[in-house]
Structure 1
């Protein structure tokens, strides 16, 4: 990646990244908003290990999940660290806490209550988007 024309990261970049993380959490059940916060060539590995390629694939999987009991699972994200690989690429380390609000009849024992999440974000101008999202369950 040629970064010769890149602007060095600033405190505003860290603030924008934290705001993007907050928006992803707020939009976790909005299939119109959440995928748009990601790049078109996104790679996503979810808590169950399912890998998706591209924003359209993510949007389709999200719509499918929201039409199932998975719609009653909420997550809370906590930013632990932000590092800039280049001025336009940030690696964001997060802790994901899972709140399973499915009815008691569901067997939720398989679902971990926490995960370690990594976002790789890219910047174009002042606009940050998620290019990679990977979650590792904590058992």
Structure 2
């Protein structure tokens, strides 16, 4: 694995930017921005266990659900851990929070991202998990 700290720091910065764009797209309920982050063959599992395979299925679901999503307050996404599986593949743990006046709930997504030939990092295999209090 490439352990060049400069290259790895640049990749972590790019990965954090993808997560920041997820946050922005969710805050603004923007399906196009959200969908631009996915690999065409991506797998997405929602917090409620719905499995979506491929960008077409993710797109159909997102365009139906995201614009009508109901949450009060702000939703935030914070990268809490990055594990490079290979130099071009990373497992990214995220903390998702619905801040007051919302319900204060949390999610614990895991995003597997892959760096493309053009250098962009894309969401490739993702599991969004609701955090159960207690």
Settle same-fold status: TM greater than 0.5.
Answer: yes
Find 2:108's aligned residue among 116, 129, 133. Answer: 116
Q: What 5-or-longer segments of structure 2 have no aligned partner?
A: none
The correspondence of residues 46-125 of structure 1 with structure 2, limited to 5 A, is: 46-66=46-66, 68=68, 70-72=69-71, 75-99=75-99, 113-125=105-117
CA distance in 2 between counterparts of 1:58 and 1:98 reads: 22
More helix by share: 2
Change in Cα spacing, 1:10 to 1:43, as seen in structure 2 (3 Å) is: same
Question: What SS is found at the alignment partner of 1:76?
Answer: strand
The alignment's C-alpha RMSD in Å is 2.6
Q: What 5-or-longer segments of structure 1 have no aligned partner?
A: 103-107
Q: How far is the alpha carbon of 1:96 from its aligned partner?
A: 1.1
TM-score (norm 2): 0.81
Asked if the contact 2:30/2:67 (under 8 Å) is kept, the reply is: no
